[in-house]
Amino acid sequence: MCKKILTTLFTLALSVSAVAEQISAPQWKLSLAAGRGVLENPLADHPDAEVSVLPSFSYYGDRFFISNLTAGYTLLEQRHFYIDLVARPNEDGLYYKLGDDAIASGSLSSFMFQSAPLFPRAAPEVSEVERDVSVVAGPSATLVTDYVDLSFSWLHDVTGVHNGSETHLSLDKQFPLFGGVIGGSIGAINKDADLVNYYYQFSLEEAGPLYARRYANLYPVDDVTDQYARLHFAYPLGKQLEVRLAARYNYFDLDGRNARFIEDDETLHWFVGLQYTIGSGQ
């Protein structure tokens, strides 16, 4: 059950972007979408996730707000510029929680290395590696213009899981189309070496001294910059019912990561369905 909830929330966070509106605080919305969605997992030996029901919740008060997995507090709000403090789970850690809980069998070579005392211990399969989900938090600034919204945020691990940081830069905008609303965004996320080392490198305890040094030489840890493009469309069928289409393409930077961790450096998340919404103003 916990894995299904994480799958649902993560797919929602990555693929189904809420349509931005002019908010008159306080305001809340609770939505339930039914349809089909797929989240491709970039981690090796980890299955993709599928969802059919997506809950969504948002609340905007005078300063405090919640939007699905993101919580924040507005420090400065002007017509075309605002600054928030935000906190949310790190996406890399969530990918580990989407995988099968069962430990996969080792390869024949791994079995041979592990059973022969004269050989060094082999690194485990990626499916056997466990990582915790961190919560990252920090300032976020957004500039709103007639053509595009520019957002920048710097988020640091506040839970002590890896003590790393990630920097986000994105261009977003939405427009009316065919009686509905279409929105898109492109963005890049720079993740520092501490974050990358924790989620995408074998530890000394996991791989043993020889394999750890070997992988450190083959795949030296470094900052990475992942990129994405997102598109979503909402078409109203009534006051509370609408059609929702959403997709997100992801590109994962392999430089700095151990290549064994990433099965596919390009993934696609998507969702198609009907969404019913209740809340203030509905």
pLDDT bin (cut points 50, 70, 90) of residue 122 is: low
User: What pLDDT sits at residue 207?
Assistant: 80
3-class DSSP state for residue 6? Answer: helix
Rounded Cα distance between 91 and 14, Å, is 9
User: What pLDDT sits at residue 243?
Assistant: 95
Q: What is the pTM of this model?
A: 0.82
User: What pLDDT sits at residue 118?
Assistant: 36
Rounded Cα distance between 97 and 71, Å, is 21
User: Which residues, 6 or more positions from 83, have their beta carbon under 8 angstroms from its beta carbon?
Assistant: 74, 75, 76, 139, 140, 141, 142
pLDDT digits (tens, 9 = 90+) for 123-177: 677 878 889 999 999 999 999 999 999 999 999 999 999 999 999 999 999 999 9
Q: Structure tokens of 168?
A: 């986000």
pLDDT at 102 over 60: no
In the chain, pLDDT over 70 holds for what percent of residues?
Answer: 81
